[in-house]
Structure 1
């Protein structure tokens, strides 16, 4: 039944969504796509007034708390008065990002609760007008990103539990909100496009727009062609991606996968089997929550996250790793510690990640391969034995060496390909990297 529901959702989206069918990426957009594929590692930031509630005492509850706890709008609107992130230091944030080896930041400009984390003029439901803090955190962050050479992308939720014209209701944010059972859908899309215009005209050149929420109303007329055209007209270089969990629509510039490697579906909602030729990105959490949650201590180890990043690169995908800042504006110390470990690893081994494309051997349980020019990097992540057999390569091998010390790797041809000798004393606990020169 679940698979049938996803099939119906896909068909409805295909029938009701007209994308930017005549889209031809501008030269600056194509250039940004190449930059994006070279960058490989970014920071995802889920931050909003929901951080004040810190998950409400439940693990796994954070930015969805309004829906999960069924908090009416009248009550939820009291949260901004408690949101005063006086410890927010954009210079510190961006410095952490750079030390972590990250190349870009994607931050929530508006999440499903409808609250804008910037100075929106089309609605006073925003951080400047409704909080004691009274300042535009996106503007401060963008200015600092420009100073330190980091690209900034804006997450924008098409789903909105607060706006009265988000009607008919979708699968979430229904009767408990207290909204009238009426509304003008086209007025809501106009509102959304006006907010997107603000984001694309008031903050200089941005990396792109990271959409989420179409899955809430798969049968709606989202007017994607108009929205995508608007974005590409205002900023031809801005990249558009949408977390709709299906194959990309025309007008989108990269394809994303939520908490799954491309082609996998361990989470149950990455149903598409299509892996496009567009730049790819995988997003993941450091614990089990996107937003700040005091009770969620289920932190992934730095080893696990590094290995996931390596496998993502082996698929040709970027790794967008999330943090949910605290309501005071600080990034959790546990998250900073993890990022620093990853940054030190990338400082030593980044050559095998940055600027690479997916290697000739698809990632598997033992590891992955990446490639840059005539160098293939074999990333051995999990291998008990001291031999690894890989498929034959279509180019002649000049030599194979261990990345760590440059010593030669013994190898021989086999019926299925090549057998590599990897003695135990040469193994790295996180990633044993071999360089194959072809």
Structure 2
């Protein structure tokens, strides 16, 4: 709770309304990778091949669509309207009872998802409001028994998925239920309940709260999970939410329930938190990511809300989502894109057009995504690389003006390079034993610059791809290498990566003078670089102190300058570093002295030739 209060204070200082959105307020833990069994690899095979999924957030909250009694509710997520507006359960029930989404067409949904290039669907069978979007026999608070609709959307969707050979996944909010008097979250109807933002330690030793919460788990939550896995055919995955609000033992109960009924069904880590589950999840709408474990999933919305919100027009562009997709797959992750259908059961035209534009790109370049994963080569400054078999795929986000694309860290011999779109052969030159240069056609640069959509080059290697992952400095004059903190390895008590959401791609809680962020870099020869740093810092009561940027026996020292707040990021010149010869170097960002509550919140170092 103390950490949450600090984060909310920082958000207020940054000029945004404090709001904990319940996407998992507990630290995302990185799980050390170990050898996976043949059984586990077989279970994960379809998921690793798919790479792309569709989330569908649909429930009675689509009716008010972010407004209640004529007023917009200040909540980024429309599906949280019951909590944010403190709507009495009886009033919410009345609203849900009149819901009749007569335009719902499961087959159309699935076919549109296929046209968008998405390989699995995750449907919200029950969200935090406690309303079942299927014919539950455990509770009559459902779209079939409570609403006038009287149809079972999940059954129709399961049948459509089977017909179209689409994998069906089911979302179920197992820890949070604002309708149930024994669950968590609703303290305006049930004052003795566990609060929506209360951590486990606040109630686990309270006999009344714990016993009532366990009654909810045993009488509603677990039985509904069992009926979902019994009555709706083969389920590809169960997607749980807010599991960090459970004890580990309670999370394991749900894991055991899934595996006992459908052993091949995958379970995400939010069943509790890592290391439970078959794969890990990032935070909601996390735009800057790190690999969490061998199998992980990034989830984003097309705008801001997950459920339909009529006032939310903050759309992500198709090009930005395509780049996000490529970035995630380049780290061997999956991307799930969310849509929130309207009250009537239709997809709003903007959402559908964005998805279909993404699908059009995938029609041409899907070979570089489906079944692909991380490359052992270095992350390039001009884009991202994915790999599949003996083929390295180069996704060009920003082409060099001289049209000479350097592929860093590729050691394997290359047979040919060609444009994936039309097979045009490209000229190759070896710069070193581990670096390749490809000459791009002029049309590639113009298309990237005009449409901001990546062009893809396929590099066919003579055998399995061998590479060096250490980042390479571009030796051309004026070139800039940006070293983001999410690409650094960090150490020190308390220092952590921020959420990775928009405006949160920085380090957090730098209070330990021994903490540091370290990047590995490589040069092809002697070079000098100007060093700049971007960070946020408050006044004297916020960030403050001195810091060092070092490599080898060189050290640059600078004073932290106030920027107006921890999330008001500004760029400062630090000095010049000299790299005396070709080779690999470590660049360290270190605290020398901390005089404020924290040192600063750095986002990146920028090195310019």
Which TM-score tier does this pair reach, normalised by the shorter chain? 0.7 to 0.9
Could you tell me how far apart the structure 2 residues matched to 1:60 and 1:400 are? 45
Where 1:309 maps in the other structure, the secondary structure is helix
Relative CO higher for 1 or 2, CA cutoff 8 Å, sep ≥ 6?
A: 1
Which residue in 2 is equivalent to 1:223? 250
Please give the TM-score of this superposition, normalised by the length of structure 1: 0.86
Q: Does 1:67 align with 2:83?
A: yes
Please give the TM-score of this superposition, normalised by the length of structure 2: 0.62
Which residue in 2 is equivalent to 1:53? 64
1:221 Cα shift?
5.5
Paired residues of 1:101 and 1:347 also in contact (CA < 8 A): yes
Q: Does 1:397 align with 2:414?
A: yes
Name the structure where strand makes up a greater proportion of residues.
Answer: 2
Which residue in 2 is equivalent to 1:269? none
Two-structure CA RMSD over aligned residues (Å): 2.7
Which residue in 2 is equivalent to 1:270? none
Paired residues of 1:369 and 1:376 also in contact (CA < 8 A): yes
Counterpart pick for 1:358 among 362, 374, 377: 374
Which residue in 2 is equivalent to 1:113? 129
Q: 1:413 to 1:153 in 2, by over 3 A?
A: same
Could you tell me how far apart the structure 2 residues matched to 1:365 and 1:55 are? 40
Q: 1:256 to 1:365 in 2, by over 3 A?
A: farther
1:377 Cα shift?
0.4
Which residue in 1 is equivalent to 2:221? 192
1:175 Cα shift?
2.4
Which residue in 2 is equivalent to 1:147? 163
Write the mapping of 1:256-405 to structure 2, written as runs, cut at 5 A.
256-257=281-282, 258-260=284-286, 263-264=289-290, 275-277=292-294, 279-361=295-377, 363=379, 366-385=382-401, 386-405=403-422
1:138-186 deviation digits (Å, cap 9, x = unpaired): 01100111011101100111212221122xx4xxx34223455555122
Name the structure where helix makes up a greater proportion of residues.
Answer: 1
Q: 1:179 to 1:222 in 2, by over 3 A?
A: farther
Could you tell me how far apart the structure 2 residues matched to 1:281 and 1:221 are? 21
1:63 Cα shift?
0.4
Which residue in 1 is equivalent to 2:578? none
Q: Does 1:34 align with 2:70?
A: no
- In structure 1, stretches of 5+ residues that fail to align are 15-23, 265-273
Q: 1:91 to 1:176 in 2, by over 3 A?
A: same
Q: 1:437 to 1:140 in 2, by over 3 A?
A: same
Counterpart pick for 1:432 among 455, 467, 474: 455
1:4 Cα shift?
10
Paired residues of 1:374 and 1:437 also in contact (CA < 8 A): yes
Q: Does 1:210 align with 2:239?
A: yes
1:423 Cα shift?
4.2
Paired residues of 1:61 and 1:68 also in contact (CA < 8 A): no
Could you tell me how far apart the structure 2 residues matched to 1:74 and 1:179 are? 16
1:98-151 deviation digits (Å, cap 9, x = unpaired): 111111100111111111111111111111111000111101100111011101
Could you tell me how far apart the structure 1 residues matched to 2:156 and 2:385 are? 39
Where 2:78 maps in the other structure, the secondary structure is coil
1:425 Cα shift?
2.3
1:245 Cα shift?
9.5
Paired residues of 1:164 and 1:179 also in contact (CA < 8 A): no
Could you tell me how far apart the structure 2 residues matched to 1:253 and 1:261 are? 22
Report how many residues are paired. 407
Paired residues of 1:314 and 1:362 also in contact (CA < 8 A): no
Which residue in 2 is equivalent to 1:175? 187
Paired residues of 1:26 and 1:237 also in contact (CA < 8 A): no
1:366-408 deviation digits (Å, cap 9, x = unpaired): 3211111111101111235323333222322222222233233
Could you tell me how far apart the structure 1 residues matched to 2:225 and 2:249 are? 14
- In structure 2, stretches of 5+ residues that fail to align are 8-24, 31-35, 194-207, 462-609
Q: 1:209 to 1:244 in 2, by over 3 A?
A: closer
Which residue in 2 is equivalent to 1:160? 177
Write the mapping of 1:243-254 to structure 2, written as runs, cut at 5 A.
243=270, 248-250=274-276, 252-254=277-279
Q: 1:362 to 1:69 in 2, by over 3 A?
A: farther
Q: Look at both structures and tell me which one has the larger radius of gyration over its CA atoms.
A: 2
1:364 Cα shift?
5.8
Where 1:188 maps in the other structure, the secondary structure is helix
1:65-85 deviation digits (Å, cap 9, x = unpaired): 111112121222212122111
Where 1:398 maps in the other structure, the secondary structure is strand
The more displaced of 409-418 and 350-359 is 409-418
